[in-house]
Structure 1
């Protein structure tokens, strides 16, 4: 297979999986918004607040209990399959998922024991301890579901994640919430229905993973004389966890960057300021969900390419995926950055009148433009075996975020939190960008990125800035300008389809997918852990 054909095959996987992931993320985003409407309209503010506090805590704990295993599976499973080590694939799943579920089970037990004091600390109300105990039961199931789905993604299948996590769980949680409201149930029943979705997801995810593994090809032996199923590698567990534990720390640090500023705003200023800051930052998550859909597909693609040490293909896939990300997500952030008052008015006049909130919106939108233009640098850094560098970057970012929040919040209010967050995100992306260029030899081309950026800037930013300068906040003019921008953007994308790699996107979608397994591969866990660092 030629280098162009190999790159095209990988891009085909990214295109098909990315579009499927985007569709699933769209369903999840709509479902999450609808769930918020059902809960806030069906219950009083105190009950709704207790529900959201409980579910947020649950989500953070589930992330912590994951221990970074999803990244470890994405790096190891294809490599083990490439050397026909079917038993080591299953060993890896056991040694990865088992400890994570055990940690979640222990934390769930502790949570049930301290539910009373914890509910009082969080201000969850009279039934807060019952809410926490009900949610705690589902914690191990949530972790099991997430990691079983991560295993199928690591082996190249995204549709199980879309079907189970994005659609099934979302629909069940929204449906049970609606049913509880219709029947006049209370907050405990509401949390129970929300948590039950994880029990169902875990059962379906386990069945699908077992079925998927049973249909996987054994792969090609590393050499003609090699055994089709090599003996178990005694270093596998050590190699896996030496790579994975830094990723677990990095994941916690990343979650802290996303949440710590909101907590610090509430503590150092007031809950009212925290509500304003939260509303001003909601748009960030929309683009991040789209980005995550692409990056989840890229993990196994990068792994498959790194096994073969095909740097030309790696550069092509990295560069094209960065271009596609900018083409897809930049318009959203440009529109928000250029019309912050209109965006804030969706939450009410008091939000739109807050100058500090406008600063928050602009700073965060511009920061996300930089982050997306850097490309999937952290994903590539992880799949190249540099989980320690990823962890260091995340810890530097969270320290910078918290430190600047403590310094700036008392002086300039919530704008200080936005500046701190922006500094943390840009620093983390910048470090990963430099490290990928140094250790992997891959980085976007600045001239190409500038050319890609000009298209959404001209089509979306300039018209939005002109309308903002006119002082209009009426929805009809903004809808007309946005529609005109979309038409102009479609025309520009068609005219520049070769430069923006959109021809490759169309060709990739049409190309029949083929498995990408190397003809030669590392033969031990130690080599697996180090192969792509050479």
Structure 2
């Protein structure tokens, strides 16, 4: 056994504690990022009005889609391969691995930024066809975002590479905290000064300039610390690595774009088929979904490198333990949010303005879909870490076909609610399909003791009690906290205790 493998084969309890430490910091950062995202949405909705807010959300959706395409699936490859190389005693290839993943992202992102710049007038005319006066401002906002698209793609790739070294701090500090805080401050400043739509776009995208520089420095630092002394590589090794890297990452590149399209294309379709005002209602109603996704990312990004190492060395028991424990934590964090948002949908939407209360049913539909999605855990990531990226691609393409087909059928008749139905069906398909595949092909499933306990506790406190009215809502929170404390052992919350130092 290679000496690098010993760290992978730790006892499950030790792995859980390690994941808990990284996951807790990432979860805290994700909570901050999700909260600032909601605050930014509130500022945009209140400052710009429904139509201009719809144009802003449509522009940022196009920006995120472009950035997702430019990353070429490296969100998985730049974690999977560094973790695998270290676990199998080939750490001398880490530098070649990073160059293989990062350089194409830099080149493709510049090309796509140019495409977005040139296509901005056409995108604006398509999504703002019912508000001709906004086409010019919408075009300018898209072009502002196009300038920052390479920075967004390269930042994510750099931070992904640091996570391949198990370094969670750069992601938490730079992406979750610094970028989110700067976005909130700059967008708030734009709202106070009452600036135009393009300036809002600049305020939202501008922080990527600072974060990109700091992310590059962080990767350089962790790479220098983990590089074997006197490491040399041969041309044949590098060539084989490039081939294997893109053989694994290629399907994931398409899958990641399709995954982003699942999350963003519906906003563009609502704008094109229903108008900018319904698009704003839909974007606001679904904002809590982004908060839940941040929680998912916060846990899964901490689990991902260790899961890749465990699967690379055949430690199925350790991998299953990590998957089930992380899913229990995810349910414990996200199900109360989804259930409360569903119960309080009207109050939640009124927070953004009276014009957004029409999205109440949208909130309920999406909340129910998120219960299913989070109950399966980070199943798509598990499938990818098991090397089944082609299966992952097929699943996401099926889900994308479902959402686009239902959107085209339902949006003209039902508006934002039709888009919500399409996304809900796609999310269910995109989680249940890989759930079956992971169980049959890899022998893993998320329904351990902690997951079942978290589900029952959340449903009792935030699903059933709120039907009693205000008293039930008030009682739900202390009942949930008491249940978490009493059930801390099956929920594996002891992993968050500080580890004692020994001489």
Q: TM-score range by the shorter chain?
A: 0.7 to 0.9
Q: Which residue of 1 aligns with 2:303?
A: 298
| Superposed CA offset, 1:256-275 (max 9, x none) | 22233334444444544444
2:167 corresponds to 1:165: no
CA distance in 2: counterparts of 1:2 and 1:279, whole angstroms: 44
Given that residues 127 and 272 in structure 2 are in contact (C-alpha distance below 8 angstroms), is that contact kept between their aligned partners in structure 1? no
Q: Any residues of structure 2 matched to 1:333-412 within 5 Å, and which?
A: 333-348=338-353, 351-352=356-357, 354=358, 357-409=359-411
Instruction: Mark the CA change 1:445 to 1:128 in structure 2 (over 3 Å): closer, same or farther.
Output: closer
**Is 1:313 equivalent to 2:318 in the alignment?**
yes
Q: Answer yes or no: is the 8 Å Cα contact 1:109–1:136 preserved in 2.
A: yes
Structure 2: state its 5+ residue gaps.
1-5, 129-133
1:176-221 CA deviation, whole Å, 9 max, x = no partner?
34455666765555544443321211111111110111111639xx
Instruction: Specify whether residues 367 and 512 from structure 1 end up closer, same or farther in structure 2 by C-alpha distance, changes over 3 A only.
Output: farther
Please say if residues 258 and 397 of structure 2, whose CA atoms lie closer than 8 Å, have aligned partners that are also in contact. Answer: yes
| Aligned-residue offset at 1:429 | 0.8
Structure 1 stretch displaced more, 446-455 or 390-399: 446-455
In structure 2, the residue matched to 1:176 is: 186
Pick the aligned partner of 1:510 from 483, 499, 502: 499
Question: Quick one: distance in 2 between partners of 1:182 and 1:273?
Answer: 25
What is the CA–CA distance in structure 2 between the aligned matches of 1:129 and 1:58, rounded to whole Å?
Answer: 12
**Which among 36, 39, 47 is matched to residue 34 of structure 1?**
39
Q: C-alpha separation between the residues in 2 aligned to 1:344 and 1:132?
A: 27
Partners of 2:161 and 2:71 lie apart in 1 by 12
* Alpha carbons of structure 1 residues 398 and 482: separation in structure 2 relative to 1, 3 Å: same
More moved, 126-135 vs 177-186: 177-186
Residue 102 of structure 1 is matched in structure 2 by 107
Q: Structure 1 residues 379, 485: CA separation in 2 closer, same or farther (over 3 Å shift)?
A: same
Q: Give the structure 2 partner of residue 63 of structure 1.
A: 68
CA shift, 1:441, in A, is 0.9
> Are the structure 2 counterparts of residues 192 and 88 from structure 1 closer, same or farther at C-alpha, using a change threshold of 3 Å?
same
Across the aligned residues of Structure 1 and Structure 2, the Cα RMSD in angstroms comes to: 3.1
Match of 1:145 in 2: 155
Instruction: Give runs of aligned pairs for residues 37-116 of structure 1, distance below 5 A.
Output: 37-39=42-44, 50-116=55-121
Partner of 1:417: 419
For residue 484 of structure 2, the aligned residue among 490, 493, 511 is 493
Q: What is the total number of aligned residue pairs between the two structures?
A: 490
Identify the residue that residue 206 of structure 2 maps to in structure 1.
196
Secondary structure at the residue paired with 1:206? helix
**Structure 1 residue 487: Cα displacement:** 1.1
TM-score (norm. length: structure 1): 0.82
Is 1:214 matched up with 2:224? yes
Q: TM-score, normalised by structure 2?
A: 0.87
Post-superposition shift, 1:129?
4.4
Q: Which has the larger radius of gyration?
A: 1
Q: Unpaired runs of 5+ in structure 1?
A: 220-226, 468-476, 514-534
CA contact (8 A) 2:396 2:430 kept: yes
* 1:46–1:100 Cα change, 3 Å: same
Q: Which has the larger displacement, 185-194 or 307-316?
A: 185-194
Separation in 2 of the partners of 1:192 and 1:346?
25
Could you list the per-position Cα deviations for residues 12-70 of structure 1 after superposition, in whole angstroms to 9, with x for gaps in the alignment?
A: 22211211112112222233333345555556766655544433322221111111111
